[in-house]
Chains A and B, each alone.
Chain A
Amino acid sequence: MAPAIEVRELRKSYRGQEAVSGVDLTVEPGEVFALLGPNGAGKTTTVEILEGHRDRTSGDVSVLGHDPAEGGPDLRRRIGIVLQETGVERFLTVAEVLEEFAGYYPRPLAVDHVLDLVGLEEKRNSRVGRLSGGQQRRLDVGIGLIGNPELLFLDEPTTGFDPSARRGAWEMVKGLTDLGTTVFLTTHYMEEAQQLADRVAIIVGGRIVAEGTPATLGGRQLRDTSVSFAHIVLPDHLANRFTADGDRWVTSSSDPTELLHELTAWAIGAGVTLDGLEVTRPDLEDVYLELTSEGS
Chain B
Amino acid sequence: MNDGLRLAVRQVRYENKAFWRNPASAFFTFFFPLLFLFVLTTLLKNDTSTLPTGQEVNNATYFTASILPFGVITACYTNLAMSVTFLRDQGVLKRVRGTPLPPWSYLLGRIIHAVAIMLVLVVIMLTFSHLAYDVPVPGRSAPAFLITLAVGAFAFCAMGLAATAAIPNADAAPAVVNATVMPLLFLSGVFVPIDDGPAWIRTVAGIFPVRPLLKSVTESLIPPTGNPTGWYFGGLAVVALWGVGAVLVASRWFRWESRR
A residues near B, CB below 8 A?
51-53, 73-74, 76-77, 79, 81, 83, 85-92, 96, 100-101, 103-105, 127, 143, 147
Contacts and interface: CB of A to CB of B under 8 A. Distances in A.
B98 A83 contact: yes
Interface of B: 7, 10-11, 14, 17-18, 21-22, 87, 90-95, 97-102, 257
Contacts of B98: 51-53, 76, 79, 81, 83
A210 B14 CA distance: 46
Contacts of B101: 73, 104
A101 B87 contact: no
- Point out which of A74, A83, A85, A89 has the most chain B C-beta atoms below 10 A from its C-beta: A89
Given A104-B99, A104-B101, A105-B100, A87 B18 contact: no
Given A89-B18, A91-B18, A92-B17, A104 B92 contact: no
B100 A85 contact: no
B95 A104 contact: no
Contacts of B22: 91
Contacts of A91: 17-18, 21-22
B10 A53 contact: no
B99 A147 contact: yes
Nearest to A76: B100
Given A87-B90, A87-B92, A73 B102 contact: yes
B92 A143 contact: no
Contacts, number: 64
B100 A103 contact: no
Nearest to B21: A91
A127 B95 contact: no
A96 B102 contact: no
B7 A103 contact: yes
B17 A77 contact: no
B100 A87 contact: no
Given A91-B21, A100-B11, A104-B101, 16 more contacts: A53-B94, A53-B257, A73-B101, A79-B98, A85-B91, A86-B90, A86-B91, A88-B92, A92-B17, A92-B21, A101-B99, A103-B7, A104-B100, A105-B99, A143-B95, A147-B99
Contacts of B18: 89, 91-92
A83 B11 CA distance: 22
Nearest 3 CB-CB pairings of A with B: A87-B91, A91-B21, A81-B98
Contacts of B14: 89, 92, 96, 100
A272 to B, nearest CB: 62
25 contacts: A53-B94, A76-B100, A79-B98, A81-B95, A83-B95, A87-B87, A87-B92, A87-B94, A88-B90, A88-B95, A89-B14, A89-B18, A90-B90, A91-B17, A92-B14, A92-B18, A92-B21, A96-B14, A96-B17, A101-B99, A104-B7, A104-B100, A105-B99, A147-B99, A147-B100
A90 B170 CA distance: 15
A89 B91 contact: no
Contacts of A103: 7, 10
B95 A87 contact: yes
Contacts of A147: 99-100
A40 to B, nearest CB: 13
A91 B90 CA distance: 13
Nearest to B101: A104
A295 to B, nearest CB: 24
Contacts of A52: 98
B169 to A, nearest CB: 14
A74 B99 CA distance: 10
A104 B10 CA distance: 10
A21 B21 CA distance: 47
- Point out which of A83, A90, A143, A147 has the most chain B C-beta atoms below 10 A from its C-beta: A90
B39 to A, nearest CB: 28
Nearest to B98: A81
A74 B87 CA distance: 25
B25 to A, nearest CB: 9
B97 A53 contact: yes
A102 to B, nearest CB: 10
A104 B6 CA distance: 10
Contacts of A86: 90-91
Contacts of B99: 76, 101, 104-105, 147
A73 B100 contact: yes
Contacts of A79: 98
B252 to A, nearest CB: 17
A91 to B, nearest CB: 4
Nearest to B6: A103
Nearest to A127: B21
Contacts of B87: 87, 89
A124 B97 CA distance: 24
Contacts of A104: 7, 99-101
